């Protein structure tokens, strides 16, 4: 007998998970509502475990295992699995990407530009490198780019961006204060990408938050959060919440090539409704930034052996 507990936001979603995983013969053992408002259903079914080798695992179980490995909370996992249920497919990658498309927001930075972009975040998150990657991508596409740095205090901050600007043959404008930033961000030309690199701040410092708020107001820019992957989920969400309250709606996720668990960034999007914008997948300035979309996120979550089950199955069956 298989005995399992399912957690979902509503009874209907929990029962859908029971049917999807255990089938129509499942017997409901108990139901309860947790302190967090979620519904928990325990169900059982008589079913022998498969003994034959080579049987493909159930897609929902595959997704559950992959999401659990990234440290997501059980409630978030069940929400994502509920979003995957309507898509009848035996391809885990397609199922997870389809769920992500309905569950999360994706808003890359390579679309139509209507406001300057002010790149913000904690120290060491990769803001300056992200600015360089965005500028390189736009320049290679033939788009006009304007570079401004407000990071005039950190040792080496200006020199790092100046080096990138020289390679791209772009002038680098300096703004030592919010008052000096305002005129540099005025008169945005049609189609021009205006990127502002800001100093890293301690989000728990009132003074740092005040200075960043002044930069946002003076520039009229959209603040975009640069967030490194791999941190503690609770700490990362608390920090990202402060930036969200300062006006951030999108995030560039860095260090994706250096971490194994993405639970912290998924929690930020789920809890704070921050949109996935860009994925920092390598240190390569020209190719190290990819526009986030549901498939990109699904590939990052799923282990490579289960991303293409159909092709793998065909290979096993070939002579």
pLDDT digits (tens, 9 = 90+) for 76-90: 998 898 888 887 788
The per-residue pLDDT of the chain, averaged, comes to 86
Residue 318 belongs to a domain: no
Q: Which two tokens stand for residue 49?
A: 């475990």
The residue segments making up the domain with residue 94 are: 58-106
Using a cut of 0.75, tell me whether the model's pTM lies above it.
yes
Q: Contact at 8 Å (CB) between 239 and 207? A: no
Confidence at residue 241, expressed as pLDDT on a 0 to 100 scale:
98
Cα separation, 105 vs 277, in Å, equals 9
Which segments of 1-61 are extended strands (E)? 2-8, 27-33, 39-45
pLDDT band at residue 129 using 50, 70 and 90 as cut-offs? very high
pLDDT band at residue 157 using 50, 70 and 90 as cut-offs? low
User: Do 230 and 172 share a structural domain?
Assistant: yes
pLDDT band at residue 47 using 50, 70 and 90 as cut-offs? low
User: Do 281 and 225 share a structural domain?
Assistant: yes
The helix or strand, by DSSP H or E, that contains position 206, with its residue range, turns out to be helix 206-219
CATH number, domain containing residue 154:
3.40.50.300
The helix or strand, by DSSP H or E, that contains position 156, with its residue range, turns out to be none
Flag the least confident range among 61-65, 79-83, 87-91, 104-108: 87-91
**What is the average per-residue pLDDT within 34-62?**
64
**What is the average per-residue pLDDT within 136-151?**
92
User: Do 282 and 186 share a structural domain?
Assistant: yes
Q: Contact at 8 Å (CB) between 231 and 261? A: no
User: Do 144 and 129 share a structural domain?
Assistant: yes
pLDDT band at residue 215 using 50, 70 and 90 as cut-offs? very high
């Amino acid at each position: 007998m298989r005995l399992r507990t399912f957690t979902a936001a509503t009874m209907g979603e929990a029962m859908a998970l029971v049917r999807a995983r255990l089938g129509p013969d499942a017997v409901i053992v108990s139901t309860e509502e947790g302190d967090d408002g979620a519904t928990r259903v325990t169900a059982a079914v008589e079913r022998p475990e498969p003994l034959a080798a080579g049987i493909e695992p159930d897609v929902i179980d595959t997704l559950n295992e992959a999401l659990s490995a990234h440290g997501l909370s059980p409630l978030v996992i069940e929400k994502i699995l509920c979003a995957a249920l309507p898509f009848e497919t035996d391809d885990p990658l397609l199922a997870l990407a389809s769920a992500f498309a309905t569950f999360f927001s994706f808003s890359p930075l390579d679309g139509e530009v209507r406001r300057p972009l002010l790149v913000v975040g904690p120290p060491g998150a990769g803001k300056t490198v992200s600015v360089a990657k965005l500028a390189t991508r736009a320049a290679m596409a033939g788009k006009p780019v304007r570079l401004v740095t407000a990071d005039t205090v950190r040792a080496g901050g200006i020199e790092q961006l100046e080096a990138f600007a020289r390679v791209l043959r772009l002038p680098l404008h300096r703004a030592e204060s919010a008052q000096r930033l305002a005129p540099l961000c005025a008169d945005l030309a049609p189609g021009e990408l205006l990127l502002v690199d800001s100093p890293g701040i301690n989000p728990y410092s009132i003074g740092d938050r005040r200075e960043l708020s002044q930069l946002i107001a003076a520039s009229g820019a959209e603040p975009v959060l640069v967030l490194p992957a791999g941190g503690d989920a609770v700490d990362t969400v608390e920090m990202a919440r402060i930036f969200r309250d300062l006006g951030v709606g999108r995030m560039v996720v860095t260090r994706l090539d250096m971490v194994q668990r993405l639970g912290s960034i998924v929690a930020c999007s789920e809890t704070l409704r921050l949109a996935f914008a860009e994925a920092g997948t390598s240190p390569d300035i020209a190719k190290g930034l990819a526009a986030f979309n549901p498939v990109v996120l699904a590939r990052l979550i799923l282990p490579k052996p289960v991303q293409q089950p159909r092709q793998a199955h065909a290979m096993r069956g070939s002579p």
